[in-house]
A and B are shown apart, each in its own frame.
Chain A
Amino acid sequence: MKASLFVFVLLCVQAYGQVKLTGVILNADREALPGVNVFLVDTYDGTSTDDQGRFEFLTTEKGVRTLHATFVGFKPYRQNVTIADQDFQLEIILEEEINELQAVTITAGGFTASDESRRTIFRALDIATTAGATADIAGALNTLPGTQKVGESGRLFVRGGDGNETRTFIDGLVVLDAYGPAAPNTPSRGRFLPFMFKGMSFSTGGYSSEYGQALSSALVLDSKDKSERTRTDFGILSVGGDVGHTQSWDRGSLAGKIQYTNLRPYVGMIRQEIDWKNAPVSLEGSSAFRHTVGKSGVLKFYGNFNHSNFSLYNHDIDDNAEKELFDLTNNYRYLNGFYKNALNTAWSVRGGFSYTYLQNKRQTETETFDEVEKGLHLKTVLEGSLSDHVELKTGAEIIARSFNQSVDPKTPQAIVAGFEEYITSIFAEADVFASNRFVVRTGARMEHNNLLQKLSVDPRLSMAYKIVSGGQISIAYGKFRQSPRNEHLMQDHTLNPERATHYILNYQHIKNNKTFRIETYYKKYTQLIKFLDGDPTNLSNLGGGDAKGIELFWRDNGSVNNLDYWITYSYLDTKRYYLDFPSRATPGFASKHNASIVAKYFVQKIKSQLGFTYSFTSGRPYNDPNVSGFNSLRTPNYADLSFNWSYLPFPTVIVYFSCTNVLGRDNIFGYEYSTVPSEDGHFNGRAIRQPAPRFLFLGIFITLSKDKSVNQLPEL
Chain B
Amino acid sequence: MKTLSIFFLLQAWFSFMNPSFIVDNKYAEAMAKNIQTVYSSQSISELQSAVNSFERIGATEKIKWEPYYYAGFGYIMLANVEQSASKKDLYLDQALKAIEAAKKIKAKDVEITALEGFVHMIRLSVDPASRGQQYSSLAMQNFSQALSIDSENPRALALMAQMEYGTAQFFGSSTKEACATNESALQKFTTFKSDNPFAPQWGKAMAEKMKLQCKD
Contacts and interface: CB of A to CB of B under 8 A. Distances in A.
Interface of A: 34-37, 39, 41-44, 46-48, 50-51, 70, 72-73, 101, 115, 118, 123, 125, 228-229, 513, 561-562, 564, 602, 604, 607, 648-651, 707-711, 713
A282 to B, nearest CB: 28
A51 B44 CA distance: 11
A101 B90 contact: yes
B130 A125 contact: yes
29 contacts: A34-B45, A35-B48, A35-B52, A36-B52, A39-B56, A39-B59, A42-B59, A44-B57, A46-B56, A48-B48, A48-B52, A50-B45, A72-B90, A118-B86, A118-B89, A123-B130, A125-B133, A228-B137, A229-B141, A513-B85, A561-B2, A562-B1, A562-B129, A607-B170, A648-B171, A651-B173, A707-B140, A709-B140, A709-B163
Nearest to B166: A710
B163 to A, nearest CB: 7
A513 B1 CA distance: 17
Main secondary structure of the interface of A (DSSP, over half): loop
A713 B133 contact: yes
Contacts of A564: 129
A220 to B, nearest CB: 20
Nearest to A50: B45
Contacts of B152: none
B18 to A, nearest CB: 24
Nearest to A227: B137
Given A101-B86, A101-B90, A125-B130, A711 B26 contact: no
Nearest to A648: B171
Nearest to A45: B56
Contact of A44 (B30, B52, B91): B30
B187 interface: no
A709 B137 contact: yes
Given A37-B52, A42-B60, A72 B167 contact: no
Given A35-B45, A710-B136, 13 more contacts: A35-B48, A37-B52, A48-B49, A101-B89, A101-B90, A118-B86, A229-B137, A513-B85, A602-B129, A607-B171, A651-B167, A710-B170, A711-B136
Interface string B70-94: 0000000000000001100111001
A362 B146 CA distance: 58
A471 B191 CA distance: 55
B89 A70 contact: no
Given A35-B45, A72-B94, A118-B89, A709 B167 contact: yes
Contacts of B130: 123, 125
A386 B129 CA distance: 39
Contact of B172 (A70, A561, A607): A607
A711 B52 contact: no
Interface string B168-187: 00111100000000000000
A604 B56 CA distance: 45
A562 B49 contact: no
B140 A73 contact: no
Nearest to B91: A72
Nearest to A116: B134
Contacts of A710: 132-133, 136-137, 167, 170-171
B1 A711 contact: no
A50 B46 CA distance: 10
Contacts of B53: 46, 48
Interface string B24-58: 00100010000000000000110011001101110
A73 B90 contact: yes
Given A34-B45, A562-B2, A651 B171 contact: yes
A410 B21 CA distance: 93
Contacts of B151: none
Contacts of A607: 170-172
A151 to B, nearest CB: 29
B11 interface: no
B59 A41 contact: yes
B15 interface: no
Contacts of A43: 60
B133 A35 contact: no
Given A44-B56, A125-B130, A650-B173, A604 B30 contact: no
Given A43-B60, A44-B30, A561-B2, A37 B45 contact: no
Given A228-B137, A707-B144, A709-B137, A37 B56 contact: yes
A607 B129 CA distance: 11
A116 to B, nearest CB: 9
A48 B130 CA distance: 36
